[in-house]
A and B are shown apart, each in its own frame.
Chain A
């Protein structure tokens, strides 16, 4: 696992294995989520993977009724809105993710600051299988 490229493809491959992974600079310790292949703080090329605990809180959110094609294909839309948001991890970094375990039809009841736990959402079969990052309230 140490050998994987610090790329989006590796990030999603890890999600498929049930791991939320950031990259970390071996020299100055800066954590990057999404993972970056270069430390843009000290410009070291020496990066390593770091697994996140998967605990965080909701920093911002929305419930979407006019869905993009990706979500419409999953059955979401005007009559079936979904929640998505920005999650602040215990380790510090923030990341965009789908938000589960809230009622997307009652957005006024969803609260910024709600504690969340990571979940890995699988869609499709075989070669088509993809894993998406989610957090559950």
Chain B
């Protein structure tokens, strides 16, 4: 096998980033959501820029085909952004679609072909009834060998959870603590679908019961609420409702520029210094069911390119489509030894004020998971945190100069990792 050190042909920087609100938006199509994200991205470019200078568009999207009955969505989005006749390309790698779109945009600039590229991610999921959303997402698994066994998307991650529980003694309470943490962060994110902590949700349910003259549930604390099968029903054991990311509409946009012209846009660009991507087999074909090999390989590539180690990373947005996924992700990225992420969650290390803040945005769990937009959405959070613009959820007491995103397609068939630097 040919092995060589991977590096970019020239430097690439993020000079603008923005996202639509994540949630349920009746009457808005995918293209409308991208326009929302584009407007915010445009406003984020400190020195302004002429949209006509964008040379190409890369769009991450899982299934506008099934969700919206719309294939060939990239040129339509290009039209809505005024980019015709520039090249527009859609990238589909399940939930890693826009993480990979970002990578393709970076490669296009690094190659010297373009100087300014727009990366977008979008998914409009809520027009379909829940059962059909479940089927559409499940189509990202192996349709010949996994789906006939009755597997769903939550079911596959639930299976990873049982393997992790068996091998490392991980408890259901650890999963719940990931949910509590990410909801705490999401409560401070005005763009989040669940802009509320678990405590807020408990309080609002108690109030509603009282207003309706129904018996008011007497939950002692968040864990008591999450253990209540009425409040938190099983989706695919051991994953309950509050272990699963929601069904979400949303879009995000990132403006990339060649390093040598980045300062024309802002005095404070965020440089991409590491990039990695890898693939893996279906879950049942893996030797170890407690880890995602593609994530380890992609992370290794990114760390090597950046010349940094896992312990150097100050904050990260990782792919928490399910609570178990955040535990596996932080182990695969080398932040914790295999089997030790559950304890790290318990000890508050991944909290916003902990040693290694993870998913300060609220993660996919609380911010929402518009599958094709999730990877680009992670980058918007890193952009805000690194520039000190994250408002109430800004990580305090750290000058953030090194950050990472980790975006997974389905159960890890695809993983893409990027490392960011502020100079």
**Could you list some 24 contacts between A and B, CB below 8 A?**
A34-B142, A59-B289, A60-B163, A60-B283, A60-B289, A62-B162, A62-B236, A64-B150, A64-B237, A65-B233, A65-B235, A65-B237, A66-B152, A66-B235, A69-B132, A69-B135, A76-B150, A84-B149, A84-B150, A84-B159, A85-B159, A94-B286, A95-B145, A95-B284
Residues of chain B having any CB pair with chain A under 8 Å: 131-132, 134-135, 138, 142, 144-152, 154-156, 158-163, 165-166, 233-239, 282-286, 289
User: A137 near B: Cβ within 8 Å?
Assistant: no
Q: Which of A59, A86, A98, A107 contacts B238 (CB 8 A)?
A: A107
Q: Cβ of B144 and Cβ of A70 under 8 Å apart?
A: no
Interface size on A, residues (CB 8 A): 36
Q: Cβ of B159 and Cβ of A86 under 8 Å apart?
A: yes
- The closest CB in chain B to the CB of A61 belongs to B162
Q: Cβ of A62 and Cβ of B158 under 8 Å apart?
A: yes
Known: A62-B154, A85-B159, A133-B149. 14 other contacts (CB 8 A): A61-B159, A62-B151, A63-B236, A64-B158, A65-B233, A65-B236, A66-B152, A67-B152, A68-B135, A68-B152, A72-B131, A81-B237, A84-B149, A132-B149
How many angstroms from the CA of A86 to the CA of B160 in the assembled complex?
Answer: 10
Q: Cβ of A113 and Cβ of B150 under 8 Å apart?
A: no
B128 CB to nearest A CB, Å: 12
How many angstroms from the CA of A112 to the CA of B168 in the assembled complex?
Answer: 13
Q: Which of A8, A68, A94 contacts B150 (CB 8 A)?
A: A68
Determine the chain A residues whose CB is within 8 A of the CB of B132 once the complex forms: 69
- The closest CB in chain B to the CB of A112 belongs to B166
Determine the chain A residues whose CB is within 8 A of the CB of B163 once the complex forms: 59-60, 86, 112
Q: Cβ of B283 and Cβ of A67 under 8 Å apart?
A: no
Q: Cβ of A64 and Cβ of B152 under 8 Å apart?
A: yes
Q: Cβ of B166 and Cβ of A66 under 8 Å apart?
A: no
